[in-house]
Chain A
Amino acid sequence: MPLILNGLPPLHWALAGIGIAGVTLALLFVGSRRFGVSTGLEDVCSLVMRVPYFQRGAVVSGRSWRLPLLAGLVIGGFLSAAAGGGWEPTWDLGVFDRAVGLGPSGKLAWMFGAGLCIGFGTRLAGGCTSGHGIFGLANFEMPSLITTISFMLAGIATTHIVYRLVFPLAGGW
C-alpha cells in the first residue's frame, strides 16, 4: 500500500520501530526526558494562556526541550516530502476522498472537530500514542496500559462506524 505522500513505498515496519525506539531512548539517555508529544500541546498553550494549569512548573520547564522536538517533527515531515518526490501543498486525503468526499472547507471542519477530541482527550488521559503507547507500555505502567487499550478500542470502533456503516468503501482498499 503506497503512502498518500507522493505515492511513496513505506519503510519496513521493523526499521521504523527501531527508529522510534532509538529516538525515545536517546531522549531518556541524553536528557533524562520522558518521550511524549501531547504535553507539547500544553507547552504551546502555556505561551498564550495565563490559567493556573498552564503556568505549572512541570509545563514551563519542559518547554525548552519539547518545543524544539515538536519543531523538528514539522521539519522532518518537510524534508521527507522534499527528498521524496517534492514538497507541495495538498488536500489529498486518500480513502477519505473516495468514500467521504468532502471538499477543502469540509475537511477543515472535520479535522478541527477531530483535533478537539485529540487535544482534550490526550490531556485528560495524560498522554497519547508516544507517552502512553510507547514509553508508558515499555516502562510497564498500568495507567498507560489502560489508556492504550481505551484509545485503540475507540479508534477501532470509530473507523468501523465511519468506513463500514456510514461511508462504506466500495471495492475495498
Chain B
Amino acid sequence: MTLLYLALGIVLGFVLSRSGAADYDYIQAMFLFENAQLYGILGTAVALTAPGIWLIKRRGRTLLGRRVEIELKALHRGNVAGGVLFGIGWSLAGMCPGPILVNIGEGKLYALAALAGALTGAGAFGAVYQRLQRPFRLPALKVGTGEG
C-alpha cells in the first residue's frame, strides 16, 4: 500500500507541476483574474470528485471491501481566521502545501524556506492548540481541526 500512495503522490506531483497549480505566476494571475487556468482546474476537479464521492459512499465499500468512512470536519471560528491567514500565505508564496513539495522537487530553492516556514507554523499551532481552543471554539484535542 505504501507504494500505491507513493505512486499516487508522484502522479499528483507531476500534474500539479505541469498544470500551473505549482507555478508562482499562475497563482498571481488567478488572484488578479488575469488567467482562468486554475479556476478551470479547481472547477473540473470538484465537479468530477463530487459524483465520484457520491458513488463511492453509495457503494459503501472500498475496492478491497473495507467500509468507507469519511470523517467530517468541524465548523468553528478557525475556518475563517485560519482560511484568511492561509490565503495571505498562499498569495505571498505562490504555493499551497502540496505545491510547496512539488516546487522543492522541481529544484526551486526558495520553496525549501516555504516548507521550513510551514512546518514551523504548523508546529506552533500544535504547541498552542489548547490555548486557542476556547477563543476559536476548536474541537477537543483528540479530534483536532480535522484531516485535510
Q: Interface on A for B, CB 8 Å cutoff?
A: 1, 3-5, 8, 10-11, 13-32, 34-42, 44-45, 49, 51-54, 56-59, 62, 64-66, 68-81, 84, 87-96, 104, 107-144, 146-160, 162-164, 173
Contacts and interface: CB of A to CB of B under 8 A. Distances in A.
A135 B119 contact: no
A130 B22 CA distance: 13
A80 to B, nearest CB: 4
B108 A72 contact: no
Interface in B1-37: 1-29, 31-37
Max chain A C-beta neighbours (<10 A), residue from B64, B68, B85, B144: B85
Give 5 closest A-B pairs by Cβ, nearest first: A72-B9, A131-B148, A76-B13, A115-B117, A17-B44
Contact of B45 (A17, A113, A118): A17
Given A36-B148, A58-B144, A4 B24 contact: yes
Contacts of A54: 126
A21 B44 contact: yes
A73 B16 contact: yes
A118 B94 CA distance: 11
A134 to B, nearest CB: 5
11 contacts: A11-B15, A32-B62, A49-B123, A68-B9, A74-B101, A75-B10, A115-B120, A131-B146, A151-B83, A153-B87, A155-B87
Given A45-B126, A126-B76, 11 more contacts: A17-B47, A25-B52, A30-B62, A38-B148, A42-B122, A53-B141, A73-B105, A93-B24, A94-B23, A129-B97, A155-B31
